[in-house]
């Protein structure tokens, strides 16, 4: 790898102008849309300027803006810091000490693939939005820069921990190795896509489309206006339309999940190496994640009824700094894992998991009552009351007992599925009947613990435990209070007596 | 429950016990009651004016207002005795909550940093809060409110010194 020199200010690859322009294009289009509306929606004359002129002005403006953005984008290194300067109107200077760099990964979206450049993303310790991107670099240069930053980072972190020793004991070369875990074939990819939670995909799509589409409300509803005016009997029409709507929804949802999965996980390669864990995937936008060993906080895997049949699990690596529990772009998740692949990874990173016997604890019936009352009874009562108030016929009430019965069954199954287990080194929590999820944490990776106890729990001698990690928290509800206290004390003892660093 | 594969007995582990906990300054209770007092005074005043103008029946707001006042007085006074913190050789704990009890412990080797904070009311009562942060996100942090300011500073220095030993 050629050594690179960052002592002077560096710019991106010249083609970066085009990349930046494409990145800005969305902003330009968003700016243009209101004019379209003014012209066609509100019939405004736009001060006599033609729409084309506005378009051309915006276009040229954004080209100029992109050019200056490129011109003003510098990166360089001063002493032990990496610095990025950017901004056209408001200049920003971001300083990253090498030791605070967490990971450096490269990504390529469609535009970047087209112009044969890659984006370099630098992740720093701290909150979720601390990610900095250099959007356009030559592939080989990006590689060298990535290598350079990671090397610098390791050296600086070493110096910090053992000052004075760094020169004499040259970094012991860790032998480099690579162990492939999973390569997703096209067939498996399609299976994963077809067994995706389509309801969720459908709802995501619906939310996105819904948010966007109502900007054009006037145009959309216009053709339906005559029907909407005869509002009488709209309910029967709606009922007739419902099966049709459902079919459309299903088809669109399945198609959408397939597309999403293929785009995201095409040619997925998941492997381990001496540094940690690597995941490469993506069709139009190729993502490469390198998760260093110490950044891994815990593992979580989940499934759904269809995938259970195929033996597929989605494996998620929870890493420090990606703190949100919501879906994050940087979440490393590997779909289509079989049990064997899961065990391979866990054995590599959590050898403790395979020592000793596990002790299991369940969650108290209170969980069933809570779920049943809040998620089944409450909605049923509200729906019944509103049906009663609007004096509907008995047909409408008929499905309610069925819902209560099914809901009760689900709540029961859910409560039974919640399980805590530990072998004294690893904590594992299992939850979920229809969508089972499972997580595994070694105790030294924990930050701290919390014990919660409401008056309802106190009466039954129960407590809930919350385990905090640097990648989010996980809870185990309604353990018996004595067990909870034992685990609490034990976990504290393990954290306090461990010499291993959580990161 | 047993962990038979361990060479340590569970019963020999140190336990976080009630007796280890220190209560908070009595002034902190008075400070909280003052804050609530201000809230109830203002809401009472607004509703009274409303009623005097004749657009709100007195007992319509007075009954829930008084009920809430009693409830809050009860929770604050009874709950105050539950609030407390404990510092052991290797960790710090805080507990609180009458209706929703919660106890959190942070080992010193997991503390990110520690600071003292003081609000306007706190200044009037010479009270400050010690905040202990971990890498586990905001819900895992401990905030010990209701310490005399001087004591809070000392506690902060002590925690910082202890946690620095682990870096």
Q: Which residue of A has its CA nearest to B94?
A: A450
Q: Do A453 and B101 touch (CB under 8 A)?
A: yes
A408 touches chain B (CB under 8 A): no
pLDDT at A436 over 50: yes
Of A359, A451, A473, the CB nearest to B3: A359
Strand extents, DSSP E, A205-295:
269-273, 276-281, 286-292
Is the pLDDT at A413 greater than 90? The verdict is yes
What are the b/e assignments for A29-48, b being 16+ CB within 10 Å?
eeeeeebeeeeeeeeeeeee
- Tens-place pLDDT, residues A151-176: 887 777 666 554 444 343 444 556 67
Beta carbons of B83 and B103 less than 8 angstroms apart:
no
Provide mean pLDDT across the span A112-138: 76
Classify residue A206 by its DSSP letter: H
Looking at residue A37, the DSSP 8-state letter turns out to be: I
Q: How is residue A409 written in tokens?
A: 């069954």
Q: Which of A468, A481, A491, A501 to mutate to test the interface with B (most CBs of B within 10 A)?
A: A468
Query: What per-residue confidence (pLDDT) applies to A235?
Result: 58
Report the chain B residue with the minimal C-alpha distance to residue A128: B137
Helix (H, G, I), strand (E, B) or coil at A171: coil
Residue A305 belongs to what H/E stretch? helix A305-310
Interface probe for B, chosen from A450, A472, A497 (most Cβ of B below 10 Å), is A450
The verdict on A475 touching B (C-beta cutoff 8 Å) is no
Query: For residues A494 and B4, what is the distance between their CA atoms, to the nearest angstrom?
Result: 15
Chain B interface, best mutation among A493, A497, A499, A501, by max B CB count within 10 A: A493
pLDDT higher than threshold 90 for residue B142: yes
As a whole-number percent, the residues of chain A with pLDDT over 90 amount to 35
Are A469 and B134 a contacting pair at CB < 8 A? no
Domain boundaries, chain B: 26-79, 85-164
Which residue reads 């007085």 in tokens? B73
Q: Which is more confidently placed, A231 or A216?
A: A216
Provide the pLDDT confidence category of residue A341 given band limits of 50, 70 and 90.
very high
Where is A2: in which H helix or E strand? none
Fold of B85-164: PH-domain like (2.30.29)
Find the range with the poorest average confidence among A435-449, B74-88, B100-114, B127-141: B127-141
Is residue A481 very low, low, confident or very high in pLDDT (cuts 50, 70, 90)?
very high
Distance CA A277, CA A316 (A): 12
Both tokens of B45, joined, read 């005043």
Compute the average pLDDT of residues A175-191.
87
Note whether B10 contacts A355, CB cutoff 8 Å. no
Beta carbons of B3 and A489 less than 8 angstroms apart: no
Determine, for residues B110 and A422 on separate chains, whether the beta-carbon distance falls below 8 Å: no
Query: Is residue A323 less than 8 Å (CB to CB) from chain B?
Result: yes
Q: How close is the nearest chain B Cα to the Cα of A471, in Å?
A: 7
Question: Are the Cβ atoms of A458 and B101 closer than 8 angstroms?
Answer: yes
pLDDT 10s digits, A296-323: 999 999 999 999 999 999 999 998 876 5
Write the CA distances from A371 to A361, A366, A376, A409, A442, integer angstroms. Answer: 19, 9, 7, 11, 29
pLDDT of residue A63: 87
Residue A14 pLDDT:
84
Looking at residues A74-94, what average pLDDT do you find?
A: 83
In whole angstroms, what is the distance from residue B128 CA to residue B153 CA? Answer: 9
Tell me the average pLDDT of chain A: 83
Cβ neighbours of B101 in A, within 8 Å = 452-454, 458
Report the alpha-carbon distance of residue A164 to residue A151 in Å, rounded.
18
The pLDDT of A484-496, averaged and rounded, is 93
Query: Rounded mean pLDDT of chain B?
Result: 88
Q: Which of B4, B14, B106 sits opposite A489 (nearest CB)?
A: B14
Given a contact cutoff of 8 angstroms between Cβ atoms, the answer to whether A361 and A202 are in contact is no
Instruction: State the pLDDT confidence band at A221, using cuts at 50, 70 and 90.
Output: low
- The percent of residues above 70 in pLDDT, for chain A, comes to 84
CB B52 within 8 A of CB B31: no
Q: What is the pLDDT of residues A3-52, one digit of tens each?
A: 677 778 888 888 888 888 888 887 778 777 777 777 776 666 666 677 78
Residues of B in contact with A359 (CB under 8 A): 1-3
**pLDDT at residue A217, rounded to an integer:** 58
pLDDT digit string, tens, across residues A320-337: 876 554 455 667 889 989
User: In the prediction, which pLDDT does B8 show?
Assistant: 59
Looking at chain B, the whole-number percentage of residues with pLDDT higher than 90 is 57
Q: Are A449 and A382 in contact (CB under 8 A)?
A: no
Going through A46-158 in order, the beta strands assigned E by DSSP cover 74-78, 81-86, 92-97, 101-108, 117-124, 131-138
Residues 6+ apart with CB under 8 A from A260: A193, A196, A201
Q: What is the pLDDT of residue A329?
A: 64
Q: How far is CA B37 from CA B31, B33, B129, in A?
A: 10, 6, 21
pLDDT in tens, A347-374: 999 998 998 889 999 999 999 999 999 9
Provide the β-strand partners of residue A85: A74, A93
- Which whole number is the average pLDDT over B81-89? 92
Average pLDDT over residues B147-161: 91
Taking contacts as CB-CB distances below 8 angstroms, the residues of chain B near A355 are: 5
User: What pLDDT shows up at residue B2?
Assistant: 44
A286 DSSP β-pair partners: A108
Predicted local distance difference test score (pLDDT) of residue B144: 94
Q: How far is B44 from chain A (nearest CA, A)?
A: 30
| pLDDT for B3 beyond 60 | no
Dihedral, A344, A349, A354, A357 alpha carbons, nearest 10: -130
pLDDT at B35 over 70: yes
Measured between CB atoms, which of B3, B106, B107 is closest to A424?
B3
Contact between A455 and B99 using a beta-carbon 8 Å cutoff = yes
Higher pLDDT, A52 or A256: A256
Q: Do the Cβ atoms of A448 and B139 come within 8 Å?
A: no
Token look-up 């004075």 returns A164
Of the residues B17, B135, B167, the best mutation for testing chain A's interface (the one with the most A CB atoms within 10 Å of its CB) is B135
Q: Which pLDDT value is given to residue B10? A: 67
pLDDT at A326: 46
pLDDT value of residue A433: 93
Q: Does A122 touch chain B (CB under 8 A)?
A: no
- Whether the predicted pLDDT of A233 surpasses 90: no
Cα–Cα distances in angstroms (integers) from residue B160 to residues A183, A276, B95, B148, in the given order = 47, 32, 21, 18
Cross-strand pairs, A7: none
Which has the higher per-residue pLDDT, A133 or A467?
A: A467
Would you tell me how many other CB atoms lie within 10 Å of the CB of residue A68? 15
Q: Which of A101, A103, A108, A109 is nearest to A139 (CA)?
A: A108
Distance between B6 CA and the closest CA of chain A, angstroms? 7
What's the distance, CA B33 to chain centroid? 14
């Amino acid at each position: 790898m050629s050594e690179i020199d960052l002592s002077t200010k560096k710019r991106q690859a010249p083609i970066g102008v085009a990349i930046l322009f494409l990145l800005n294009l969305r902003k330009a289009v968003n700016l243009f849309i209101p004019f379209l509306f003014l012209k066609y929606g509100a019939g405004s004359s736009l001060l006599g300027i033609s729409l084309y002129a506005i378009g051309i002005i915006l276009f040229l403006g954004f080209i100029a803006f992109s050019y200056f953005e490129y011109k003003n984008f510098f990166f360089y290194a001063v002493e032990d810091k990496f610095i990025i300067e950017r901004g056209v109107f408001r200049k920003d200077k971001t300083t990253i000490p090498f030791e605070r760099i967490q990971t450096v990964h490269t990504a390529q979206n469609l535009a970047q693939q087209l112009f044969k450049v890659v984006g370099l993303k630098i992740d720093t310790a701290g909150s979720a939005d601390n990610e900095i991107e250099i959007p356009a670099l030559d592939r080989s240069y990006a590689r060298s820069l990535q290598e350079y930053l990671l090397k610098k980072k390791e050296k600086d972190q070493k110096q910090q921990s053992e000052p004075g020793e760094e020169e004499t004991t040259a970094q012991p070369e860790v032998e480099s190795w690579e162990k492939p875990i999973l390569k997703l074939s096209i067939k498996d990819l399609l299976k994963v896509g077809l067994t995706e939670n389509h309801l969720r995909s459908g709802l995501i799509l619906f939310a996105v489309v819904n948010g966007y589409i109502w900007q054009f409300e006037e145009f959309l509803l216009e053709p339906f206006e005559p029907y909407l005016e005869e509002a009488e009997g709209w309910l029967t029409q709606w009922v007739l339309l419902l099966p049709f709507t459902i079919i459309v929804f299903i088809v669109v949802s399945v198609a959408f999940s397939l597309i999403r999965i293929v785009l995201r996980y095409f040619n997925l390669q998941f492997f381990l190496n001496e540094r940690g864990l690597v995941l490469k995937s993506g069709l139009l936008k190729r993502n490469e994640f390198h998760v260093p060993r110490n950044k891994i906080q815990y593992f979580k895997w989940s499934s759904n009824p269809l995938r259970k049949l195929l033996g597929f699990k989605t494996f998620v690596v929870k890493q420090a700094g990606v703190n949100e529990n919501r879906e994050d772009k940087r979440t490393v998740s590997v779909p289509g894992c079989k049990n064997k692949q899961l065990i391979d990874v866990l054995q590599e990173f959590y050898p403790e998991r395979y020592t000793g016997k596990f002790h299991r604890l369940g969650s108290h019936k209170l969980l069933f009552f809570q779920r049943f009352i809040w998620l089944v009874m409450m909605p049923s009562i509200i729906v019944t009351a509103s049906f009663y108030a609007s004096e509907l016929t008995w047909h409408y009430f008929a499905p309610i007992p069925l819902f209560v019965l099914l809901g009760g069954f689900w709540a029961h199954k859910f409560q039974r599925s919640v399980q805590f287990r530990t072998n004294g080194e690893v904590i594992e929590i299992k939850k979920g009947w229809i969508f089972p999820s499972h997580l595994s944490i070694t105790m030294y990776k924990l930050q701290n613990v919390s014990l919660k106890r409401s008056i309802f729990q106190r009466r039954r001698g129960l407590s809930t435990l919350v385990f905090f990690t640097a990648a989010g928290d996980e809870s185990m509800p309604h353990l018996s209070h004595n067990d909870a206290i034992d685990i609490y004390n034990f976990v504290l003892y393990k954290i306090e007596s461990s010499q291993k660093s959580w990161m | 429950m047993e962990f038979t594969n361990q060479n340590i007995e569970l019963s020999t582990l140190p336990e976080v016990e009630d007796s280890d906990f220190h209560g908070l300054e009595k002034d902190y209770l008075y400070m909280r009651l003052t804050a609530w007092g201000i809230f109830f005074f203002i809401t009472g005043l607004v509703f009274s004016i409303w009623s005097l103008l004749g657009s709100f029946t007195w007992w319509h707001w007075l009954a829930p207002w008084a009920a809430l006042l009693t409830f809050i007085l009860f929770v604050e006074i009874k709950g105050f005795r539950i609030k407390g913190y404990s510092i052991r050789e290797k960790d710090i704990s805080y507990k609180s909550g009458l209706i929703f009890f919660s106890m959190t412990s942070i080992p010193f080797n997991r503390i990110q940093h520690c600071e003292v904070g003081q609000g306007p009311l706190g200044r009037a009562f010479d009270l400050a809060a010690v905040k202990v942060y971990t890498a586990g996100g905001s819900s895992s942090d401990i905030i010990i409110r209701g310490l005399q300011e001087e004591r809070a500073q000392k506690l902060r220095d002590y925690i910082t010194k202890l946690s620095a030993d682990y870096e």
